[in-house]
Structure 1
Amino acid sequence: MATTTMKAIRLHEFGAPEVLRYDDVPIPAPGPGEVLVRVHAVGLNPPDWYAREGMPDVPPELKPPFELPLIPGTDVSGVVAALGPDIGAGPDRFSVGDEVIGLLRFPTALQGSAYAEYVTAPVADLARKPATVDHAHAAGLPMSGLTAWQYLIELGHDHPSPFQEATHRPIALDSDTTVLVNGAAGGVGHLALQLAKWQGARVIAVASGTHEAFLRELGADEFIDYTEQRAEDVVRDVDLVLDTVGGPDSRRFLRTLKRGGSLFPVYFGDFDDAENAELGITVTLTQVRSSGAQLAELARLVDAGSVRVALDSTFPLTDARAAHERAARGYIQGKIVLTVAG
């Protein structure tokens, strides 16, 4: 490698998007079980702006360790540039030049240092990039896709949730299942809708009216414009609600579920265990975790055309501030992605 430095976005202080700085930093060296990835695109996710703000609303005991200066970002698509020691052997071994995607080190580390020209990545977090899409679309897949997968298809780990004692277990989805996806146009939502359809379920999509055509195209059987009517006022007897918005208002979806149904809030809300038991409804959530194996399954679905990643907007790495400002405005359709010049 001819140079020893690279460009990266760093936080030197917490705050609004203007604290994101474009810096010169050393190119990292891959450690045991890692490769060095030449980054082509980076997907944005809520933990990115939580980190930028310093996670002020998160209890100290739930905060992963992090210190400044910090390079944000966890979702990456790029090309293997160098190999660290002890990366394993066999036909699935990564080689220099391989195109890869990954959700890096989450949630062990709050951020995986992906807003950069190069990043080190544990091989266990990586999968081969879908061949049918470019790096920008591929970078939109890891965290959102794995969140949808681990909620709906297979949890794939036995780590306890930091938010509740109950273990999250996806339910079986088939043609007899009706799934309501709240926030269906967003990063997690639009991928979850497609995974539910892939499993044969009937899907009710909830979003603002501007997203109806987009969600119908992705396969939504029914659409509810939340600016016109509240889903809990018009929907009954669904089997599963995936609330990608979550938070304090998630409890309102209890009335949409049949007895024996499940409510999966991506962001924990205010629930009463006794009420849930009386209604016969299971409410569980989990925290998405890095998984190269599950990401490989998602990549295969992308290549097969069963799942597609939609891009809301793209910004060059130098304009990370504008990307964060776009995220703050909301009403996102798909994913926001940073592109890195080759």
Structure 2
Amino acid sequence: MKAVVVNGFGGPENVEIAEVAVPGPEAGQVRIRVRAAGVNPVDGAVRAGVFGGAGQRLGLGWDVAGEIDATGADVTGWNWGDRVVGLHYGTVKPLGTHAEYVVLDASAVAAAPASVDTAAAAALPLSGLTAARSVGLLGLAPGASVLITGAAGVVGGLAVQLAAQAGLVVTALAGEEDEALVRSLGAAAFVPRGQAPAEPVDGVLDAAVLGEAALAFVRDGGAYVGLIPGHAPAAERGIRVQEQEVAPDGELLARLVSLVDAGTLTLRVSETFPLTDAAKAHDRLDAPGVRGRIVLTA
């Protein structure tokens, strides 16, 4: 089968299409015929060598939407042809979801949303799980105020929606050109990038990884949630500082799918590329102004 890999670190020119063996599911696993797979910033970071793995062939891709192709022993509830979405966790791995087939633990899979196409479904797992876990870590009660940085991005935009649905009063921090977008997602207030909110907020969800600059927006004793492990600022003023680390979670993913099908969670796709044009997709990933997930189709 064809799979997207890197054998050396650098820019999009390092993205290759390799011929590799079709993987087989082991006990508790399912094999998925990949129809679409999101291209996330973490894929660019793997390609650039941020997570190491020098001298190894590294597979790219975390998101997948497709159909069950085979099941391993002890798998129940899934049958051949079932449409699913799932998350393939791991920064240093020989194969990812940017391939024609991928094997996942059955617990990492959920039925695909019925209301959107396969490309949109592939934009959900990594970004949706990240946003949902981050909103949960804030630990704020309905009516509390939260500022979400990077609110026009894929994760930030999903977090705006989920936080608003949880009853939080959302202020979105984004570029001036994105005010209408973030308000349409549920933001009650808007702060242009580079400016500060009029008054401190109960919590910050720092999707833009601003660190100390975002922590300064939080009231004493409030909450700060960072999205990238190891990048959160030091706690101060009694602020509860936490970092989310995404993990495969079929149950949470299924709840997010139900929100998509209910029309209360909007998925955004920027562009699609065939699997064989993965290098072009990485060129676009590195370009500014992407609004929505880039998706590979196989």
| TM-score of the superposed pair, with normalisation by structure 1 | 0.82
Task: State the 1:322 CA deviation.
Answer: 1.6
Corresponding residue for 1:100? 84
In 2: Cα distance, 1:10 partner to 1:127 partner? 26
Deviation at 1:191, TM superposition (A): 0.5
Q: Where do 1:229-248 residues align within 5 Å? A: 229-231=194-196, 234-246=197-209
The SS at the match of 1:131 is: coil
- Give 4+ residue runs of structure 1 displaced > 6 Å after superposition: none
Q: 1:323 aligns with which of 273, 281, 285?
A: 281
User: Aligned match of 1:81 in 69, 85, 90?
Assistant: 69
Paired residues for 1:1-342 under 5 Å = 6-55=1-50, 68-87=56-75, 89=76, 93-104=77-88, 106-107=89-90, 113-153=96-136, 169-174=137-142, 176-226=143-193, 229-231=194-196, 234-246=197-209, 249-267=210-228, 268-269=230-231, 271-273=233-235, 276=236, 279-340=237-298
1:34–1:123 contact (8 Å) kept in structure 2: yes
The one-letter code matched in structure 2 to 1:217 is S
Q: Secondary structure at the match of 2:155?
A: helix
Q: Deviations over 1:166-203 (max 9, x none)?
A: xxx431341x1111110011121010000011112111
Could you tell me how far apart the structure 1 residues matched to 2:256 and 2:54 are? 29
Segment of structure 1 superposing worse, 24-33 or 127-136:
24-33
SS at match of 2:190: strand
For 1:112-163, what per-residue CA distance to the aligned partner results, in whole angstroms no more than 9, with x for missing partners?
A: 511111111110110110111111111111111111111112xxxxxxxxxx
| In 1: Cα distance, 2:195 partner to 2:32 partner | 45
SS at match of 1:284: strand
CA contact (8 A) 1:75 1:142 kept: yes
**2:8 partner SS:** coil
Task: Provide the rounded CA distance (Å) in 2 between the counterparts of 1:31 and 1:66.
Answer: 28
Once the two structures are superposed, residues 43-71 of structure 1 have per-residue CA deviations (whole angstroms, 9 ceiling, x without a partner) of 1222211211222xx5xxxx6x7862222
Query: What CA distance in whole angstroms lies between the structure 2 residues aligned with 1:201 and 1:119?
Result: 38
Tell me the CA shift for residue 222 of structure 1.
1.4
Moved more, 7-16 or 65-74: 65-74
TM-score, scaled to structure 2 = 0.93
- Assess, with a 3 A threshold, how the Cα gap between structure 1 residues 78 and 69 changes in structure 2: closer, same or farther: same
> What residue is the counterpart of 1:164 in the other structure?
none
Mark the CA change 1:15 to 1:109 in structure 2 (over 3 Å): closer, same or farther.
closer
Report the count of equivalent residues: 297
Worse overlay, 66-75 or 237-246: 66-75
Unaligned runs of 5+ in 1: 1-5, 154-168
- CA shift digits 1:271-320 (9 cap, x unpaired): 334xx1xx221111121111111111111111111111111222221111
CA distance, structure 2, for counterparts of residue 111 and residue 186 of structure 1: 28
Which moved further from structure 2: 94-103 or 78-87? Answer: 78-87
Look up the SS of the partner of 1:113 in the other structure.
Answer: coil
Distance of 1:50 and 1:297 partners within structure 2: 29
Per-residue displacement from partner, 1:193-252 (whole Å, max 9, x unpaired)?
Answer: 0001111211111111222222121121112221xx412xx4322111111121xx4112
SS at match of 2:184: helix
* Cα root mean square deviation, aligned: 1.9
The 8 Å contact of residues 62 and 87 in structure 2, kept in 1 or not, is answered as yes
Amino acid at match of 2:288: G
Distance 1:100 1:217 in 2: 28
